Chains A and B, each alone.
Chain A
Amino acid sequence: MRPFALEMADTPAAATNYATQSAGTYLAGGTVLLDLMKLDVIEPQTLVDINALADTYGAIEADDDGITLGALVRMAEAERHPAIRRDYPVIRDALWQAASPQLRNMASLGGNVLQRTRCSYFRDVSWPECNKRAPGSGCAAIGGNNRRLAVLGVSDHCIASYPGDFANALVALGAEVGLRSADGSERRVPFEDLHRLPGDTPEMETNLVPGELITAFHVPAGPWTRRSLYRKVRDRTSYDFALASAVVALHLEDGVVAAARIGLGGVAATPWRAHEAEAALTGRPLDEAAAEHAAEAAFAGAVTHGGNDFKPELGRRTLVRALLEAAAMEVLP
């Protein structure tokens, strides 16, 4: 790792000051940052350790309106939380099937949603071409090894996949993200607006303003949260990123879909909400034909590049299975 300065922030104001005045990069669990710093993919001059802010941003609070997860809650803490296990099983599923127990003890939820693509051309600096890492250099994955890469939301400049699990649950459940800017003001934006599609600027991955700190995630309550699950398909049985995954949350009335919330992982450039699939299901009885119809809609816009030609089919089957399993769940009233 290249040398860098390390600042310890003990208040939110100190953190945002370091981030703006010393162009500092926030350090939470460090499992993304140190990884990419060891690979020379990123070379921050200053790290700002925000772990002491867990006093302010480290709580989980549930009430009738929903659940709030502080940005410095660890993945393992959220996975164990009784309200999440009971009322938001999809969040628990997406967390415990991610990474390893060691990583989940370390990783914060704020850092989790900002994890970077696992595209090998991005991670290996010996490849000169990567528009995300070196804007304007080209994309070695288009025409290269792209088996694990995205088919939804991609552009001619980048087909990197968003690798995370948890964020797909947040986007599908219509969560909001709380942000604190350097001047101390706070705002809340739809989680769906946090990440940017690659377009012709794949190096710009989020709409965060420099120095902005994620404070929390607010997940609204809804009649669909208890009937919710996450299905993840990977090369290994455990401890691997998704090749394809599906978030499903359903509100059923007499077997008819009153409301559906659907997210997809492993197949898209960003955390992905499948609005078309939700619309295709709403008002219909949930049977296999309806699930297949919704899955077709979810992948109608898929663009493949050879190595990942199998992904739309795998993604559709994953979603169909998740929908049928969610419909069959035993749910407390």
Chain B
Amino acid sequence: MDIVLTINGRPHHLSVEPRVVLLDALRDRIGLTGTKKGCDQGQCGACTVLIDGQRVLSCFVLAATVTGEITTIEGLAPEGGPLHPMQQAFIEQDALQCGYCTPGQILSAIACVHEGHAGSAEEVREYMSGNLCRCAAYPNIVQAVLQAAPQMDATAGPTSAETV
């Protein structure tokens, strides 16, 4: 099937079999390897990307069914420009060890803030529970999300900023 994926604002034309998932299209076909494959089974969150601002698991999305705009970790900061506040917070809070889960954590965290679910450490833990970290950097990840949240404009989010 001939498809067009809009990724980080740029169209990409490619021809895929129906069984190709977005994760593999990004990594193997387009060369955007920032998005990671952990379990390939919907359990770890390493493959999290945003589609029209909503966080989803790219290992469970057929590339040929995507119509919305995809944001990956490569699209968060302009080349040579300042990092996204969430990226900066992950660095400042030392919210990673090996870094494998980090792209998924950061995209999930951005959506978590936009959804209005970053009001407290407890809430962040619950709403970041879909992103596992094998190095168990969890306390620092929670701190990073709490640090970045007020720096992001919560009203610019894709989903209504209702809290629990």
Contact = CB atoms under 8 A, between A and B. Distances in A.
B126 A238 contact: yes
Contacts of B164: 96
A239 B127 CA distance: 9
B60 A101 contact: no
B56 A239 contact: no
B19 A101 contact: no
Given A1-B19, A6-B18, A49-B65, A80 B160 contact: yes
B90 to A, nearest CB: 18
A285 B59 CA distance: 51
B149 interface: no
Contacts of A126: none
Interface stretch (A17-25, A30-38, A149-157, A264-272): A30-38
B64 to A, nearest CB: 6
Interface stretch (B4-12, B28-36, B37-45, B73-81): B37-45
Interface in B107-124: 108, 111-112, 115, 117
Contacts of A105: 54-56
B125 A6 contact: no
Interface string A310-321: 000000000000
A51 B129 contact: no
A100 B64 CA distance: 24
B114 to A, nearest CB: 11
A34 B41 CA distance: 8
Given A6-B1, A238-B129, A101 B55 contact: yes
Given A6-B62, A34-B60, A38-B41, A238 B125 contact: yes
Interface residues of A, number: 31
A73 to B, nearest CB: 14
A34 B24 CA distance: 14
B18 A35 contact: no
Contacts of B162: 80
Nearest to A107: B60
A29 B42 CA distance: 12
B60 A35 contact: yes
A106 interface: yes
> Taking chain A's interface residues, is the majority helix, strand, or loop, or is none over half, making it mixed?
mixed
Contact of B18 (A47, A51, A102, A106): A47
Contacts of B45: 100, 102
B42 A35 contact: yes
A35 B55 CA distance: 18
A76 B111 CA distance: 13
A4 B41 CA distance: 19
A174 to B, nearest CB: 28
B95 interface: no
B41 A106 contact: no
Contacts of A34: 21, 42, 59-60, 62
B103 to A, nearest CB: 13
Interface in A1-55: 1-6, 8, 27, 29-31, 34-35, 38-39, 47, 49, 51
B21 A6 contact: no
Contacts of B153: none
Most buried by A among B19, B45, B61, B111: B19
A102 B55 contact: yes
Nearest to A74: B54
Contacts of A142: none
Contacts of B48: 102
Interface string A259-297: 000000000000000000000000000000000000000
A80 B60 CA distance: 23
A100 B61 CA distance: 16
B154 interface: no
B19 A35 contact: no
Contacts of B42: 31, 34-35, 103
5 contacts: A4-B19, A6-B18, A34-B60, A99-B130, A105-B54
Q: Which 8 A-B pairs have the closest CB atoms?
A: A100-B130, A6-B18, A238-B129, A239-B129, A1-B19, A105-B54, A102-B130, A102-B57
Interface of A: 1-6, 8, 27, 29-31, 34-35, 38-39, 47, 49, 51, 76, 80, 96, 99-103, 105-106, 237-239
Given A1-B21, A6-B65, A31-B42, 5 more contacts: A3-B17, A30-B61, A34-B21, A80-B162, A237-B129
